Amino acid sequence: MSETPLLSINNIEALYGGVILALRGVTLNVNKGDIVSLLGANGAGKSTTLKACSRLLEAERGEVTKGVIELNGEDISQYNAYEMVKKGVVQVLEGRHIFSHLSVEENLMTGSFIQNMSKEEMRRGIDHVFELFPRIKERRKNPGGLCSGGEQQMIAVGRALMSKPSLILLDEPSMGLAPQFIEQIFEIVKRLNEEEGVSFLVSEQNAMVALRYASIGYMIENGRVIKKGLAKDLLESSDVAEMYMGGGENKVSFDGVKYYHRRRPCMV
């Protein structure tokens, strides 16, 4: 018998406000120890899928109206977002959403409160985050709102780690970041996965980076999963190249287009 997936999403549909259909029969699995990439354009349904798993969807007037989501074989519909974090599932939201008025260190501390850690456990957790992200250690007393976008993403991931998760739902981690920060974030994802066994479901528009670090990939479009497979196979797929990297056989060529320079206006 095959091992029960850590997270199993089975044919779910999701509505916003009771009228807007955002997900149309999405099915995917995250096995223990996997990094799974959920690829798609803006508005494809990636964030909705993650929020359905973290139980944050209800906070945005959304609901899962069909299908089932299971954690270790258990239906999660009976749990709220707080209880999901207690069970080891934490989401890093798109746009980071740190507390701008709190210091970097205080932001990290907020991630430990749900697990009722002792001061010693909290200190070890913070030291571990600073070991992973030495850049934010240098700014530990600075307000989070004064940190760069890349540093704020590091704070958000570090805050998630403070709750000792077994599964992190990482939503658009590369959005708005410089390339060097994107690589650092994904290298930490890889390290946490390999050294500490943390599983990841990562939603991304940057398919090339996401698939390079993932084991499994799913492509979602208009609320439906349209393709899935091993990440290394999807990287070589013409569908992925065409849709997310600008390649493929149907790529539009501008080689024959003539360009004209606009004349400068005469100054009288």
Q: Tens digits of per-residue pLDDT, 201-235?
A: 999 988 889 999 999 999 999 999 999 999 999 98
Can you list the alpha helix ranges (DSSP code H) found in 21-167? 46-54, 81-86, 104-110, 119-132, 134-137, 149-161
Residue 250 reports pLDDT greater than 80: no
Residue 251 reports pLDDT greater than 90: no
Confidence of residue 176 (pLDDT cuts 50, 70, 90): confident
CB 159 within 8 A of CB 110: yes
Confidence of residue 13 (pLDDT cuts 50, 70, 90): very high
Residue 166 reports pLDDT greater than 60: yes
Other Cβ atoms closer than 10 A to 264: 6
Confidence of residue 244 (pLDDT cuts 50, 70, 90): low
Query: Is residue 226 within a helix (H) or strand (E), and if so which, with residue range?
Result: strand 224-230
Q: CA 114, 17, 92 angle in degrees (round to 5)?
A: 30
Rounded CA separation 39/220 (Å): 6
Handedness of CA 170, 9, 28, 219 (dihedral sign): negative
What integer pLDDT is reported at residue 262 of this predicted model? 42
Higher pLDDT, 198 or 236: 198
Joined together, the tokens standing for residue 153 give 């993403």
Percent of the chain with pLDDT over 90: 75
pTM of the model: 0.87
- DSSP 3-state of 80: coil
Confidence of residue 67 (pLDDT cuts 50, 70, 90): very high
What integer pLDDT is reported at residue 2 of this predicted model? 55
Q: Tens digits of per-residue pLDDT, 99-148?
A: 999 999 999 999 998 888 889 999 999 999 999 999 999 999 999 999 99
What integer pLDDT is reported at residue 32 of this predicted model? 96
152, 205, 251 from 113: Cα distances, Å: 20, 32, 50
Contacts of residue 11, Cβ cutoff 8 Å, sequence gap at least 6: 25, 26, 27, 66, 67, 68
Average pLDDT along the chain: 88
Q: How many Cα atoms within 13 Å fall on the side-chain side of residue 116? A: 2
Q: Tens digits of per-residue pLDDT, 76-86?
A: 999 999 999 99
Determine whether 8 is exposed, middle or buried from the number of CB atoms within 10 Å of its CB (0-12, 13-18, 19+): buried
Rounded CA separation 172/74 (Å): 27
